Structure 1
């Protein structure tokens, strides 16, 4: 029987990972060659590469598949990528649903590794590509800022509640105020570092300016969108971006008896979904296509939160368009094409011809 691939499944945990090598034949049958446990360390990664080379000698047939388990998979993924192995990183929910389709309801690391290897043999998922070092650094800063903003909001809420109570303890109030000042300084520092990254890279500078040309998209929102999408390089069309953000529409209808509510999936990257949301707080009073979208949703009976979410979808589609086309946002063109209900042409529905790069103001 002709051998067509070595499908290697790796189930990654914090300290260790399990690996299984399967041979895949031309008739799509497979058999397990060997399995082993490794430490999730540099030494363990080196041992894994040697083990793969010994048991799967034809490198061109090797396909390693692993779950996107937090951050624990990243070191091994980069080792394999640098060693020029074909690698795929799959979302855990896909592996979980695949296991259910096999009637596998037990869960342990060796079994998970075998299921991942079988998934790779059957579906041949697309190869993983790492983010550029610049975008990876920007993503780290963006996520650090989001985390600190959450802590800062909690501190402000505690301070407000405490000062609104009777006879608040002054020492506690003082400490909360000091915490707020500290986290505010930290956030300002992070934003300054993000600006430095932007100023040091022409492509990032241009894309940031393009996104900031869109109403309701500020500097921090632009950084978040670029960081979480690898500069929109992860997507070929708008619908892929919308699905990745968890804003794709889920329907629940069947025949004449089932008429469930239509909702967004909420399964994607929540950071992309939430980035433009807060900036749209005043969209209902804005004389723009986005404001009209919001008011139209309200007129249809949507709650304010739902209407703002619908507007976020439109903002993300426009963001994709301006970055991919390389042209800043144009309100008139957006309004004309939105009014005509034009579909998704090859160029952006929010830009005009001819294409021009935005003029960048010198940074002080």
Structure 2
């Protein structure tokens, strides 16, 4: 589509402000399905340009922006979900803040970037469900870890017969959370079994030595089952494991390093996978030991292995063939 006008939307929990870039008209709406229709009707009526050339642009704010995304998708209306940080960086120096001003700036951002924009396509319902369940599992595991750590210290310090309720309650919470984590994992596996395309990619990814089920699910969820990222290098950048140069002129000659802007959870998972591969994958173990023996930095070597694993993940999915350990066969 040829974008000629943009509607910037500043989302919040109960309401949102919208601004049309071409004429700077501004209006507030409720964050409800009824007002989503009012928003679209108002935008098409107020803009002097055809509705086919109008793009709705708003910040990705999780649940607050999800319903609007679903509504626009159901009506085949083009829209762009964009990172709040990206919008903030594009604004330059701004004094003061208000929802109306933010909506205006978002519309301006969309109009400036109109020639480079690809409208957002939502992930399938199954992929979104997996992502939500993964986040829920992460919270449950964190809570369980907190109870385990607390219980361990209290058992070490406190007298058991004087603190029976304190200790038994935490034991029950750990048991209950473990049960809930298992239920969440079972639900994710049910979703996988009901979707042949996702299940196939899951099997392909886990065929790689060192890649576990949780890492496979996270990668499927955050790549929208390998539709959002065309190459592993782009996803590596998203994960924060792609090295970037740090040089400028003749005075700055910094080391090549990864960016702190990353999906930290996937980065952590890939780090664990890399370390597992070093222990259990002969090829990776030999590679790691050889580089370290030549004086190479251990962390940079682990990062290379993270990239190797990610490259293999994209390769098996693109070829639609499970990974073959050639060194194992050679042995």
Give how far 1:227 is off.
1.4
Q: Distance in 2 between matches of 1:115 and 1:297?
A: 49
- Which position in structure 1 is the counterpart of 2:131? 139
- Which position in structure 2 is the counterpart of 1:42? 33
Residues 24 and 104, structure 2, Cα contact 8 Å, conserved in 1: no
Q: Distance in 2 between matches of 1:262 and 1:296?
A: 21
Q: Distance in 2 between matches of 1:258 and 1:335?
A: 47
Give how far 1:241 is off.
0.9
Equivalent of residue 213 in structure 1, options 207, 211, 223: 207
Give how far 1:17 is off.
0.9
Q: CA RMSD in A?
A: 2.5
Q: Distance in 2 between matches of 1:242 and 1:334?
A: 27
Check 1:154–1:281 CA distance in 2 against 1; reply closer, same or farther (3 A cut): farther
Identify the range of structure 1 (51-60 vs 148-157) with the bigger mean alpha-carbon deviation. 51-60
Specify the SS of the correspondent of 1:136.
Answer: helix
1:58-108 per-residue CA deviation (whole Å, 9 max, x = no partner) reads 2112111111123311111221222222211111111111101xx324322
Equivalent of residue 122 in structure 2, options 113, 122, 130: 130
Task: Flag the structure with more relative contact order, 1 or 2, with Cα contacts below 8 A and sequence separation at least 6.
Answer: 2
Q: Distance in 1 between matches of 2:200 and 2:210?
A: 18
- Which position in structure 2 is the counterpart of 1:357? none
- Which position in structure 1 is the counterpart of 2:320? 326
- The structure with more helix, counted as a fraction of residues: 2
1:229-249 per-residue CA deviation (whole Å, 9 max, x = no partner) reads 111111111111111212222
Residues 225 and 275, structure 1, Cα contact 8 Å, conserved in 2: no
Q: What stretches of structure 2 of length at least 5 have no aligned partner?
A: none
Question: Does 2:111 match 1:112?
Answer: no
1:140-186 per-residue CA deviation (whole Å, 9 max, x = no partner) reads 21221112111111111112222222435332221111111111101
Q: Distance in 2 between matches of 1:243 and 1:282?
A: 22
Check 1:233–1:335 CA distance in 2 against 1; reply closer, same or farther (3 A cut): farther
Give how far 1:286 is off.
3.1
Check 1:106–1:297 CA distance in 2 against 1; reply closer, same or farther (3 A cut): farther
Residues 99 and 105, structure 1, Cα contact 8 Å, conserved in 2: no
Equivalences for 1:335-354 in 2 at 5 Å? Answer: none
Q: Distance in 1 between matches of 2:329 and 2:229?
A: 25
- Which position in structure 1 is the counterpart of 2:17? 18
Question: Does 2:198 match 1:204?
Answer: yes
Equivalent of residue 43 in structure 2, options 37, 46, 52: 52
1:248-300 per-residue CA deviation (whole Å, 9 max, x = no partner) reads 22332234432334322131222322233334444333343333444355444
Q: TM-score, with normalisation over the residues of structure 1?
A: 0.81
Q: Distance in 2 between matches of 1:138 and 1:86?
A: 25
Specify the SS of the correspondent of 1:198.
Answer: helix
Q: What stretches of structure 1 of length at least 5 have no aligned partner?
A: 24-31, 337-364
Q: Distance in 2 between matches of 1:43 and 1:4?
A: 26
Residues 289 and 335, structure 1, Cα contact 8 Å, conserved in 2: no
- Which position in structure 2 is the counterpart of 1:302? 297
Q: Distance in 2 between matches of 1:253 and 1:54?
A: 50
Specify the SS of the correspondent of 2:266.
Answer: helix
Residues 273 and 306, structure 2, Cα contact 8 Å, conserved in 1: no
Q: Distance in 2 between matches of 1:147 and 1:5?
A: 43
- Which position in structure 2 is the counterpart of 1:173? 167
Check 1:14–1:277 CA distance in 2 against 1; reply closer, same or farther (3 A cut): same
Give how far 1:334 is off.
11
1:88-147 per-residue CA deviation (whole Å, 9 max, x = no partner) reads 1111111111101xx324322111111111111111121000111111111121221112
Check 1:295–1:235 CA distance in 2 against 1; reply closer, same or farther (3 A cut): same
Equivalences for 1:64-79 in 2 at 5 Å? Answer: 64-79=56-71
- Which position in structure 2 is the counterpart of 1:355? none
Identify the range of structure 1 (125-134 vs 139-148) with the bigger mean alpha-carbon deviation. 139-148
Specify the SS of the correspondent of 1:252.
Answer: strand
